[in-house]
Structures are given as C-alpha cells and as structure tokens.
Amino acid sequence: MLAVHEFVRLVPGRNAVAAVRAPSHPRRRRRAQFPARYGALALLRHGLSGREWPRAWPDQPLRKRYDAVIIGGGVHGLAAAYYLAVNHGITDVAVLDKGYIGSGGSGRNTAILRSNYLTPEGVRFYDRSMRLYRTLAADLDYNVMFSRRGHLTLAHNDSSLRTMRWRAEVNQMQGIDSEVIDPAEIKRLVPYLDTSADTRYPILGALYHPPGGIIRHDAVVWGYARAAAARGAHIHQETEVTGIDVRDGRVQGIRTKKGDIATPVVLNATAGWSTLVAAMAGVRLPIQTFPLQAAVTEPVRPFLHAVVVSGTLHVYVSQTDRGELVFGASVDPFASYSTRGTLEFAEGLATHVIELMPGLSKVRLLRQWSGLCDMTPDFSPIMGGTPVEGFYVDVGWGTYGFKAGPVSGEAMARCIADGRAPEIIEAFGLGRFGAGELVGEKGAAAVGH
Ligand code: PYC
C-alpha cells in the first residue's frame, strides 16, 4: 500500500486516461434524451390526464466494460458524470452506489451554500460552485429550489471577530460579497436572535455573506442523475463495490456485488467510505471519519430569512420554504461510522438554540439523523490523481461537501478528460500532505470542531 508521504507531486499527465484518449465509443456530445420534462404545460397535461410519469432515468444492465466508473452516487459522483458528458463528450460512464442515490452525505447535510472561506484557494473554488448552483435549475432543466438568504457567522469573542475580519478581507480580495457587521445590523436581519449583552456568549459581530443560501439537496441529486442519464451515463443503485483491480500501477477494473467491470478509470467520490474504497486500490488517505448529526423541527410560520451559524455554540440554523427549522452541530467527538442520532446531541442542540433564539423554546423537534464526515488534517478536500494510474479521488469533504458538488464534478470531469488536475483544484492534491503545503480552512468551517 502506498502511503501519502511516498509521493509528493503527481507527474502531470501520468494519470491520463487511456480510455478517454482512445474511447471505445466515438467521443461526441450526446443530446439530452429526457423521458419527461416538467414545464408548466407538461404538469397541467399530466394533471388532467391522470397518467403515470415515466421514470426520470431508466434502469440499465450492468455492462462488462465502461470508459469510466464513478463510485458514489451522491452529488459529487453524479455531477462528475454529467460534466464528463456535457463538457467532454465522455458518456460511456457508470455511476455506482451501494445504496440509493443521495443516500450518503448528499441526503444528510443541511443544504447550506456559501463561499466565504478563509484561503484564496478555498474562496475561488467555492465561489465557482455558487456560480454553478445559481444557474443549475436552468442547466439541468430541473427545479433545485436555490434560495438566496444571506449567511451570518456570529462572533462571540474577540478572536472569532478577528477571524471574521480576516475572512472578509480575503473574500473581498476575491470579489466575494462578505463583510463584518455589528449587533444592531444583525438584529435588523434576524430580529429573533438574542443580541443583548447579558447572555452567556454575547454576540459581538458577524461575518455577513449576502449570496449565501440554501437549496433542496435531493432535487440537486435527482437533477444531476436525470441529466447525466439523459446523456448516456448508467446509474446503478444497490451495486456495492467489493474490490478494485490494479496491475503494474494501473487500474484494470472493479468488482461489485453484481459483477465485475473492466475500466481504465475509477473515480472515488464517496463520503464516509472514502478511505475503505481507496484502500481497495492500495492508496492510503489522511482521513478520519466522524458522524455529524442534524435535526429538523415541525414547520412554523416563516420568521428566519438568513442562515445563522454560531461556532462558539456549535450550531447552525436555517428555515426551509415549508417552515421547518433545520439545525446542525459540529461533528461527534469520536471517529465512528455510526449514523444513529443521540439524545445527547438533541439536548445539547436545544440548549444552544434557545440561547441564541429564546423564542424557540416551545418548538418541537420532528426528526434527527446523522451523516459521515471524512475529515482531513487541514479541513480541505483531497482531489485529483493518485499514485495509481487511472484511480482518482474526490474525497475528504468533512462538513462542507454538498456546497462543493457542482465545482467538484466539473473539475474532476476535466481532470479525468485531461489526465491532470485543473488549476482550480491544484492546491487540493493528495501530494500536499507529503509536501507540507496544507490549505488550512479550519477557521472557515461552519462550526467549531
Ligand atoms: O460549511 O457551511 C458549512 C456547513 C454547514 C453545515 C455544515 N457545514
């Protein structure tokens, strides 16, 4: 097994994809073949006729060979399949998921979008994702319910206020709308917040990021799946990968519970299981996996327009269009693959939420859940090639993977097509850990960890 320190920089071009250079099928941009469209007229026609909608994408037989196989049917894997087809004409692609699509991190996050990061590399990267998200409904011909809300990261002490100012400077240098605001302005934006001075952690200011917002996360997954499938990608659910065959330092194929597939290209786009999948190819990743819990309340009348985050209180909250309050916290304190909710989390969450917004004391929790977060040492992802030719990774997404889905899919598709990491993800290569060139984003993670 190759350890991270055994290589420092991938040689550009070494990971080029033979299959993509000499595809088994002619490379051409396929027109989208949607089984149905969901415009106003189609909705009306279907409503009146009472007919069944056709399935949004067909089940396909598992082929014995694909030009590329993507492991992980979440937003990252499906977006990669979509951009491979749309931007590079590579359509002989399978996306495999051991469960159903979106059943991992993509269906378990709190759907917050923002780009107010701390490093120039991070800000540029997440800003590209925000831009793609803004036009995604039109691009995919699917309503993903993007809702621009404004995003507030509260500072409860001098050191976090200093970090907010630092982030605001970096953000503005990159052209991102982001500034530090005072408690009076915070109160104007979120009247229900307790901004008084006599709380346990008084609010001293906030980083305000007007473009931030929320989106319907499962719609994003379905939209990418439908659009990728309409251009030829095969989506295989309940198809667990059990092995990756590597010979002479090159990927040869993969084994699944439903049969073997020959392929020269494998993209590991899993969250939670990324180290286990990478180990199948003999690649070690500097990642530890922790559960992250979240919860949703019963619906209440709309009162909270902005997304509010408090690192000190380990909590973030937004209100959906249906009126539910969606809450999250920091990751559980122990590495684990458990996806169970705990009473301890619900109690801690309630305490902190009521400190922030005392008026919520009577609102009832509806349900809670947990997802798996692959944490890297610097709180940035790991993207690009690996020491195994043809084996690519898009992993290490910690608590920030969903917002990066579109840009990651776009960048990984380019990486696979060109055989080298595009500029926008160069800083996130696996080799940075050996080279000591970390991209420290801990200060911009949503909540204290
Ligand atoms: O990074 O914005 C974020 C985030 C929100 C919830 C978890 N992470």
Q: pLDDT tens digits for 310-336?
A: 999 999 999 999 999 999 999 999 999
Q: pLDDT tens digits for 67-119?
A: 999 999 999 999 999 999 999 999 999 999 999 999 999 999 999 999 999 99
Ligand 1, atom nearest to 292 Cα = 7
Q: What is the pLDDT of residue 121?
A: 98
Cβ of 318 closer than 6 Å to ligand 1, yes or no, is no
Tell me which DSSP letter residue 227 carries: H
Give the whole-angstrom CA distance, residue 81 versus residue 101. 13
* Cα of 241 from ligand 1 centre, angstroms: 29
State the residue for tokens 């890297």. Answer: 376
Phi, psi of 404 (to 5 degrees): -95, 5
Q: pLDDT tens digits for 423-440?
A: 999 999 999 999 999 999
Give the whole-angstrom CA distance, residue 146 versus residue 226. 18
Give the whole-angstrom CA distance, residue 318 versus residue 214. 8
Q: What is the pLDDT of residue 15?
A: 43
Cβ of 397 closer than 6 Å to ligand 1, yes or no, is no
* Cα of 447 from ligand 1 centre, angstroms: 7
- The rounded percent of the chain whose pLDDT value lies above 90 is 88
Going by C-beta distance under 8 Å and a sequence separation of 6 or more, which residues neighbour residue 294?
A: 108, 109, 110, 326, 327, 328, 329, 368, 369, 370, 371
Q: Are 347 and 369 in contact (CB under 8 A)?
A: no
Q: pLDDT tens digits for 44-62?
A: 998 999 888 999 999 999 9
Cβ of 110 closer than 6 Å to ligand 1, yes or no, is yes
Of 406, 402, 409, residue with least CA distance to 80: 409
Q: pLDDT tens digits for 237-288?
A: 999 999 999 999 999 999 999 999 999 999 999 999 999 999 999 999 999 9
Cβ of 114 closer than 6 Å to ligand 1, yes or no, is yes
Count the Cβ atoms, other than its own, within 10 Å of residue 5. Answer: 13
> Does pLDDT of 23 surpass 90?
no
Give the whole-angstrom CA distance, residue 5 versus residue 62. 37
Give a three-class secondary structure readout of 351-384: HHHHHHCHHHCCCCEEEEEEEEEEECCCCCCEEE
Q: What is the pLDDT of residue 16?
A: 43
Q: What is the pLDDT of residue 31?
A: 76
* Cα of 118 from ligand 1 centre, angstroms: 14
Cβ of 66 closer than 6 Å to ligand 1, yes or no, is no
Cβ of 328 closer than 6 Å to ligand 1, yes or no, is yes
* Cα of 323 from ligand 1 centre, angstroms: 20
Contacts by 300-306, CB closer than 8 A, 24 or more apart: 300/324, 300/325, 300/363, 303/192, 304/190, 304/192, 305/149, 305/150, 305/189, 305/190, 306/149, 306/150, 306/151, 306/152, 306/189, 306/190
Cβ of 108 closer than 6 Å to ligand 1, yes or no, is no
| 238 membership: H or E segment, kind and range | none
For residue 146, name the pLDDT band (cuts at 50, 70, 90): very high
Cβ of 314 closer than 6 Å to ligand 1, yes or no, is no
User: Which protein residue's CA is at the shortest distance from atom 7 of ligand 1?
Assistant: 399
Q: What is the pLDDT of residue 32?
A: 87
Q: Are 251 and 355 in contact (CB under 8 A)?
A: no
Q: What is the pLDDT of residue 39?
A: 86
> Does pLDDT of 14 surpass 70?
no
User: Which protein residue's CA is at the shortest distance from atom 3 of ligand 1?
Assistant: 446
> Does pLDDT of 7 surpass 90?
no
Q: Are 186 and 203 in contact (CB under 8 A)?
A: yes
Cβ of 399 closer than 6 Å to ligand 1, yes or no, is yes
* Cα of 410 from ligand 1 centre, angstroms: 21
State the residue for tokens 């404004």. Answer: 150
For residue 5, name the pLDDT band (cuts at 50, 70, 90): very low
Q: pLDDT tens digits for 149-192?
A: 999 999 999 999 999 999 999 999 999 999 999 999 999 999 99
| 278 membership: H or E segment, kind and range | helix 274-280
Q: Are 261 and 234 in contact (CB under 8 A)?
A: no
